[in-house]
Structure formats: C-alpha cells, structure tokens
A = this chain, B = another copy of it.
C-alpha cells in the first residue's frame, strides 16, 4: 500500500464568489423549501466538505490508483480505506446535502450539492464513482418508482446502505443503446426473469455495501425494437428479505473487471444476469416500455455529474500546477535572458508559463460558473414551478440546453487542462511523484461515458437547439445580447464585450446553417460539424459568464481600499475574462467560418482510401 498523502486543492474563495457574488444564491436561501439554509450554513457545509475531501478522500486518491480493484472468487475488493471513507461520507451526510429530508437528507438547493460534489469528486474521482452511481440510481427510483420502491430502494440508496448502478451498455450496444439484447420475461407474480450481459458497469461490484441495486435496461418479450421497447428493472445483487435485509443471491455474477487507463479505484465490471435463469427483476414504477425515459432522469443527472467531475479534477490540476510554478526555480527572468549570472526565478515569472496558467485559470473558473449556473437554473425551476410556470419553463429550458455543453466541453477541457498542467511541470508532470499524470488518466473517461462527446454534440444540434421551436436558444441569445448591450461601453471590458458579441453572431449564423442542412436533407453535415459547434457555443457561454464575473469583480474592487486582500482576487477575475475574450472568443468566429466551408472530404473519401491496410 502506498503512503496516503493529500494532494487535492480547491479555491474556496472562487467558489464563494461564484455562488454569492455572481449567481447571488443568497436570493433563494431562507425561502420556501430552503428555509433552513442561509449563507452561513452553505459556507459551513463547504468548509466541512473541504475538510473531508482533504483529509479522507484526498489521501486515498493515489492509493486507489496504485492498488486498483481486485476481483477474486467473484467478489470485487476496493482499495484500502475506501470502505471506511464510504461509511464516514454517509455518517457525516455530505452526499445527502440536497437530498430531500423525506429520505434523510439535508434539503439544500442543488447548487450547494454541486459545489460540494466539486470538492468530493475532485479529491478522488475513482472513489466518488460509487456514491455518484448510487445517488443516480436513487434519483431514478425516487422519480419513477412506486411508493414501495421509493421507500425501500431509494431510501437505502440515498442513505448509502446499499450501492447502485446503471446497466445500459452491452457488448454490441454502447452508444446504440436501443440495440440492447437483454430480456425480461414475466414470472407471473409481478416480477420478471432477467437475462443478459452488461459491460462497462461502473461500481458494478464492490465491497462497500451489503447489497447493490442494479437498474437494468431490458426488453420485455414481444416489445418493439429500438429504445422504445426497453423497460427498466430493479435487480438487486441479493434478493431483499421481508424485513428489508439482503437475502439469497439473485443470480447476478461479475464476469470480469476492466484494466483501465485511469479511475483504477473504481470497479468497471462485466455483469452476467440470469446465467442460471434465476435472476429476478422488479419493474420500475410498475410500467413497461418506459425504460429509456426513466433512465434519462438518471442520465441527465449523470451528464451534469460528469461536468462536475471535470471541473473538480481541472481545478485541482490547475492549483497543483500553480503551486509548482510558484516553487520551481528555473532560468532567469526573460528581461535578463542574456545574463548567465542573473538570479534564477520561479517559473511563474516566465511568459510562456503564465500563458499556460492563464488558460487553465480562465477555463477552470469559466467551467465553474457554467456548471453552477446550470444548477441554479435547476433550483429556480423547482422554486418557480406552480408559481410562475413560464419562468420555470425558461429555467428548465436553460438546463436542457446547457447540459451537453457541461458534459462535453467540460470533459474535453478537463483533459486539456491536465495536459497543460503536465507541460508546466515538465519532467515532473510525467512521474507519479506529482498528481498530474493521474489526473490526466482519470479524466480521459469523461469524454466517453454517459454518452460520448459526439453524442452530446448531436443532442445539442439535433435536439436541444430546436426545443420548443428554438425558444430556449432564443432566450439564451437574448440573455447574452442584454449583457452585451449593458456592458459594451464598459471602460475596461468594452473591447472584450465586442468580441463576445461577434461570437454570439457567429453562433446564430451557424445555428441557422444547421437548420438549413436539416431542412435540405444534408444530414451528414450536421455530425461533421456538431462537435465544433458545441465548442463554439460553450466558449461563447463561458466568455459571457467570465465577463459578467469580471464586471462584478471590478465594481466590488472599487468599493474596497486599495490594500484590501480581496483586490488580488478581483483582479484575477478581470484578467481571466480578458484572457478568454482575447484568446478564445476570436476562435469561435473562426470556427463558424470553417463550418461554413461545409467541407465534405470525410464523406467523399472512399472507405478503402483511408489506408492501404
């Protein structure tokens, strides 16, 4: 076993700024369902979760990476310390921050649990997979299950007594979920006989809980082909006794676990259901053929969760890199580059290093605002439902629109940020003595699971842009336009705001182009350019939100004495926004021009011409 050392870092000041100064979360606290929550309570929770993350899960991050999971005699063993961390997590209640009080949670706004999750997940991605999947399964049952299912399964899952999984993927059905071959046959007593093989199942088996509740997509005999014929089943590892305790085995076996690039402390299993024809499943909500819809309540939650994972790892990657750049001395300041005797300086003084650090900083903080804002839209939608349904619909629409950006741009940039961090570290970035190489490996899966980033792009351009006749897109465009109008004459940010305006125009023109392609049947152009458009839109949103943060920071700085410690922090917000506006927003415009070329070379090339072997 390797020595447990915490290397997780977080910038709580920036988290607080985003929550309270930018998004003004205080406005919804102490009201309605959040009556028990004030600003102090939120800060206290974040302080406590930070303590937990740096003392419990953080120190286990490399331990889990090096020890990995083991499969012996059909049972997966997690790395040393994971079980204790799991128990402590649920005892202290940090996974239940926004879980309803009905299920034993603390009922906080979603945005608070998202901030907490940034810390938990960033400190140990692999460990956080287990409670993450468990909570996803709990949500799916809570929202779609019968009262009895909610009381038994959702409650035990929310409280961490049992673990949960989501079982979609099969050997020949990955992105193509509808091709699933798993079957369910009525037993005649209300239960179903489940048969099939599921692969790449995260948390598929482990030793953290007494029971594991698998949510399995399967086709009831006779149902139609494709996703519409799928139903969702609750399939426990151990059947549940009358008294609610785990009973006999339910014919679910772990065939193998994957040897992976990263998140080694998380088990990824091949699960065989019903090899002995004795696997019993219970239909979620008691209705057939609703599996995809039900799974999607979990899937959306999970996609946002991938964004949070991305943010957590990107942030600690940045802060570890910053620490290295401040400590590591190498070479003279560029102004003395011709003087061999000039004093060696910390590499943070070198312009090329600062360029890399600025990219990391601006993107980390931009992702944070994007993700927190999405969560805040979710809270607002919940608060306004039934009171002002039009406004609630606006907020829900923004959640839908932003989810693929959070998942895909977040995951691609998390990996990119880790790569930049390695580059700043030089040789130190390539070795296990520093955490960057693990962050890089762990983060690669984010662009793949919960719907690959190509699927996210198709979700954005093929579905989300056009929801309600494009209304949510127009509302988003209107929000940006309003900000531009209000800030285009800003003395420090005006030029940058003009770049934002150009990026926004580029988005509008490109969205119209996609519409034309759809209408004219030039379907192939859409997936050819979808991922580039997703980047365009993500960077426009982030450019907007970073500039909004900068405008607030500039005002706040003015109100403080020049030597106030927060002056540096506020200056950082301003320069992050300027960096992003000057370096990323012009690229949005350039991408639009490239998409407009409608290059067809990938379709025109004969399949045999890709290579001669």
Contacts and interface: CB of A to CB of B under 8 A. Distances in A.
A71 interface: no
Contact of A9 (B437, B526, B571, B613): B613
Interface string A323-346: 000100111001101001100100
A357 interface: yes
Interface in A399-452: 415, 419, 422-423, 426-427, 429-433, 437, 440-441, 444-445, 447-449, 452
A590 interface: yes
Contacts of A422: 444, 448
A275 interface: no
B582 A330 contact: no
Contacts of A610: 322, 348, 357, 361, 572
Contact of A259 (B431, B604, B608): B431
Contacts of A329: 172
A593 interface: yes
B609 A528 contact: no
Given A430-B445, A448-B423, A611 B524 contact: no
A599 interface: yes
Nearest to A174: B426
Interface in A520-539: 523-528, 530-531
Nearest to A338: B226
Nearest to A261: B437
A67 interface: no
A11 B427 contact: no
A14 interface: yes
Contacts of A441: 261, 441
Given A582-B599, A611-B14, A340 B259 contact: no
Contacts of A524: 334, 351
A225 B590 contact: no
Interface of A: 9-14, 169, 172-176, 178-179, 199-200, 224-228, 258-262, 268, 318-319, 322, 326, 329-331, 334-335, 337, 340-341, 344, 348-355, 357-358, 361, 415, 419, 422-423, 426-427, 429-433, 437, 440-441, 444-445, 447-449, 452-454, 457-458, 523-528, 530-531, 568-569, 571-572, 575-576, 578-579, 582-583, 586-587, 589-590, 593-594, 597, 599, 601-613
B423 A452 contact: yes
Contacts of A603: 351, 354
B586 A594 contact: yes
A113 B603 CA distance: 36
Report the 10 A-B pairs with minimum CB-CB distance, sorted nearest first.
Answer: A226-B340, A590-B590, A572-B609, A582-B599, A354-B602, A575-B605, A261-B437, A13-B612, A351-B527, A176-B331
